[in-house]
Amino acid sequence: MSTAVDDDLWSAIGDPTRRRMLDLLLDEGSGTATSLSGHLPVTRQAVAKHLAVLDRVGLVHAQSTGREKQFRVDEAQLARAVAQLADVGESWDARLRRIKRIAETIERNR
């Protein structure tokens, strides 16, 4: 199966702070910019900006609760990201197997 790679999605996931935020949201079920900032070495404002990036690519969705937004991970979008990563991994494994065969052939012919 070949899954098209979504560069915006992987750009969002590529940031270590955003990956940590996803971990926290998955562990807790949901969170706000304020609650997440208590677990991260960045300000609440920085967390809000990171959440906006994750929301834009569909990895999280917000629901307003009072003055704050409660964020939850979109598990379908996360599963899509996992499928893309698995596909990329399989592709690289195939490339590495070809390189190994070529190297072994060169070595045998020496």
Handedness of CA 41, 37, 23, 15 (dihedral sign): negative
Domain 7-108 has CATH 1.10.10.10: yes
Task: Tell me the whole-structure pTM to 2 decimals.
Answer: 0.78
The answer to whether 49 touches 75, Cβ cutoff 8 Å, is no
Q: Where are the domains of the chain?
A: 7-108
Tens digit of pLDDT at every position of the chain (110 positions): 455 668 888 899 999 999 999 999 999 999 999 999 999 999 999 999 999 999 999 999 999 988 899 999 999 999 998 898 898 889 899 999 999 999 999 999 98
DSSP category for residue 43: -
DSSP category for residue 71: E
